[in-house]
A and B are shown apart, each in its own frame.
Chain A
């Protein structure tokens, strides 16, 4: 059998999606189903005086209305922050109460107040308009840089400051700056984004009063974790009687990690009324109530010596948490951000502060890359400015400061096991034809266009994560992953993974790994995920962890299958287990022509009767069946890296920026399926380009979200991109046996800096994201461009 790992294999999951047979939560309809519609706050901040739902209760088709009083009465717990950060004064971060239905106050437009359950969706919507909420509207704050100066929006949280985080050695860094020959400074706004998975969130609660079992269908990236949180903290239903199913999920990008109020309320409502309750978000609800991402304001300084070497880095960031702290809200702008600020440079001293602030906006949390795009943007912008200020070539300056030897202990947190940064930069320079850039710039100038080039040489810490490490810095859970490999008696294989695929192609990638390990044809391997009733507890998919952590758990379970198979084969072949080799699906007795296929061994394990001249194939002490489970906890993060080079053309008259050339060379360690990995990179780059040029969540002064539809929030579309050129280098990861580093977030992490460095190179002056035509035109005007000034 040819190697499956490394082959461009078409996806097993494609046919159902291509023929309209995908089964997303909204596609599910249950007998006696009812429909839910949420009453949400139209105000950014207000006290709730009264929620009067008496008229709604009498409206046609209405079954029940649940409010903040209902959930308090039934002791349903509020939403949680799953990773607590400690401030530099040693105090725990401050988290305001976050009820699933607001009772006393609302803190952002879209905050959830009540839910109406009716026989039809139309009836639920109509009745929701009859829920009369009396508010005392208060002043609100939405801007990140104004939060600490505004009155307290939550009682007892002074200056709206959740935490004041410090990472690094301040004394050593100050010393590096005092001796610096050159100090480079940048001010950066990392714009607020809305994840916008194409499938809006949805949930169906289905309570069975006879068995006391509660099933929740929900579009989630981590159904087991949802169940744990909803049992332990929200007290919706005991874990052993609670099943969560995340069927086909139409994209996540971090926005489907959280347990949302709607999940809890829909599950609760189904229990209360004893019938299935269905809720599907409208897109405007998704814009308002999905977790948002990014939203930082940062000042950064870089110290250089006279030899053009970086000697220190100082970063001060204010991160907008929104109105409440969600599950990963606090870790995203701290531990997922600050250590990554060092980039792939050998920087001996660094310190970073992060103030996490509350505002009257939708809560922020992980969005593809989660902290790492923000960090990469800071370091890649400041490195670019540094090279410019000292008059050095962008590639040369980077190479001069790259980490060269591995493993490398960075001065903040990470110990990078492997990499070769010159290799991917050299390859990207070659592939992008960097040497002829100035010719292309002249060609563009002849057409009246300003051409610019931008570099982004990034790394990321993914494969999250070693449990002991993350739990020591505030994580509420370990971040191992599980797998169960179940040989069926007829020789095919069911593989249960705790990871979840919502576009990542696990059905194919994991099957390739198992196929190679066990010598089973890929079509005889089924990857099962997304149902807490199937397979062991698992942590889900985010942080580019599925392959490095979940894939490794599968490898380890396969190893156990092989070890057991050897014992059985030894008995059947009349040898010793240590004399059995396993290769390409066959157990072979050394120095003989005696062998058994793995299918025969599986059959014997399930039917341990008489086989030929062997009485029972099972040696003493070996149990029947061929099922093995593994829980893998990695020893370290994995560290993909790469080089992106972007070229843009800016129209001097209109300020419009067009992406004209984009080159990517990544080091993901071992690549299982290049077709799938390329797709992850192209998609990631598109989201990064979206942040740089188009996307921006905007709240007006009264706290209204003015970018709550696809007519107001600019999504990147097919005509925004040129063909992206892509290649790889490979230094395998040492923290997992696959050598895999992870690829899901890389594009989104690297692209914003590459694009903005190119825009700023073209324009000749600073521009903040997103570089819309209006902003670029104004920058050109300020910079004295003749045409823009005319």
Chain B
């Protein structure tokens, strides 16, 4: 067991945790933040993407033990006082989700893209989202949503 201090969605948390616990497990099982999903066991699908110190990471291959002092933002933490983030709004407007399972990871990846590239081309959006698998949408609504969000953020 080790003790860690971590800020999750703006809230400071100090906990004793087993040293082998993954960030995705910690969020889901210890904090009931079940918006972060687990869709594979090889760090390929991207449904578990969260922001760690402002960068998108796959939480299923991140040890909480490595996150001491870090700031983590999950899908539950990007709306502002109940108002959805412009990326969330854009996904709704452009039907960028169907079953919703890949959606949290997809949105978190897309938000990070726009932090790093304010006006991405369609190809840049597609290349960036290569690490997030969606089985429902064929990506077209997602790409349209990211473009639209870029124009509004």
A residues near B, CB below 8 A?
10-11, 13-24, 26-27, 196-200, 248-251, 253, 282-284, 502-505, 675-676, 678-687, 709-711, 715, 717-719, 721, 723-724, 747
Contacts and interface: CB of A to CB of B under 8 A. Distances in A.
Contact of A718 (B39, B99, B100, B143): B143
A283 B133 contact: no
Contact of B139 (A18, A199, A718): A718
B95 A721 contact: no
B41 to A, nearest CB: 5
Contacts of B92: 10-11, 14-15, 18
Interface residues of B, number: 52
Contacts of A24: 34, 37, 101
B7 interface: no
Contacts of B44: 709-711
Contacts of B139: 682, 686, 717-718, 721
Given A11-B92, A282-B41, A709-B42, A18 B97 contact: yes
B100 A250 contact: yes
Interface string B35-63: 11111111011010000000000000000
Given A679-B95, A679-B98, A683-B137, A718 B126 contact: yes
Interface string B92-129: 11010111111110010000000000000011011101
Given A14-B92, A198-B39, A684 B138 contact: yes
Contacts of A683: 98, 135-138
A627 B117 CA distance: 54
B72 interface: no
B99 A199 contact: yes
Binding site secondary structure of chain B: loop
B97 A17 contact: yes
A11 B95 contact: yes
Contacts of B130: 717-719
Interface of B: 28, 33-42, 44-45, 47, 74-76, 79, 84, 88, 91-93, 95, 97-104, 107, 122-123, 125-127, 129-130, 132-143
A20 B36 CA distance: 7
Contacts of A719: 123, 126-127, 129-130
Contacts of B42: 283, 709-711
Residue with the greatest number of chain B CB neighbours at <10 A, chosen from A11, A679, A747: A679
A253 B74 CA distance: 28
Contact of A687 (B36, B76, B135): B135
A198 B99 contact: yes
Contacts of A709: 40-42, 44
A685 B103 contact: no
A199 B107 CA distance: 17
A102 to B, nearest CB: 24
Contacts of B37: 24, 26, 198-199, 250
B85 to A, nearest CB: 9
A194 to B, nearest CB: 11
A503 B136 CA distance: 7
A64 B40 CA distance: 27
A200 B101 CA distance: 10
8 A-B pairs closest in CB distance: A20-B35, A17-B100, A250-B101, A503-B99, A682-B138, A686-B138, A710-B44, A503-B98
Given A20-B74, A709-B44, A710-B42, A715 B135 contact: yes
Contact of A253 (B41, B133, B135, B141): B135
Nearest to B39: A198
Given A11-B92, A198-B134, A20 B39 contact: no
Given A15-B92, A19-B76, A20-B33, 11 more contacts: A18-B75, A24-B101, A26-B34, A198-B101, A198-B135, A253-B135, A283-B39, A683-B138, A710-B40, A715-B135, A723-B122
B45 A250 contact: no
A24 B91 CA distance: 20
Contacts of A724: 138, 140
A282 B66 CA distance: 24
B91 A14 contact: yes
B117 to A, nearest CB: 15
19 contacts: A14-B100, A17-B103, A17-B104, A19-B79, A20-B35, A20-B74, A20-B76, A20-B104, A198-B47, A199-B101, A200-B39, A250-B102, A253-B135, A504-B98, A679-B136, A711-B42, A718-B132, A718-B139, A719-B130
Nearest to A286: B40
B39 A27 contact: no
B97 A14 contact: yes
A687 B136 CA distance: 8
A13 to B, nearest CB: 8
Contact of B99 (A250, A684, A686): A250
Contacts of B129: 717-719
A200 B139 CA distance: 20
Contacts of A682: 137-141
Nearest to A251: B99
A196 B45 CA distance: 11
A199 B35 CA distance: 13
Contacts of B140: 678-679, 682, 721, 723-724
A414 to B, nearest CB: 28
B103 A18 contact: yes
Nearest to A717: B130
A718 B125 contact: yes
Nearest to B134: A198
A715 B133 contact: yes
A200 B39 CA distance: 6
Contact of B133 (A17, A284, A710): A710
A303 B60 CA distance: 56
A684 B134 CA distance: 12
Residue with the greatest number of chain B CB neighbours at <10 A, chosen from A283, A717, A724: A717
B89 to A, nearest CB: 8
A687 B137 CA distance: 10
A253 B76 CA distance: 28
Nearest to B25: A121
Contacts of A715: 133, 135
Contacts of A198: 37, 39, 45, 47, 99, 101-102, 133-136
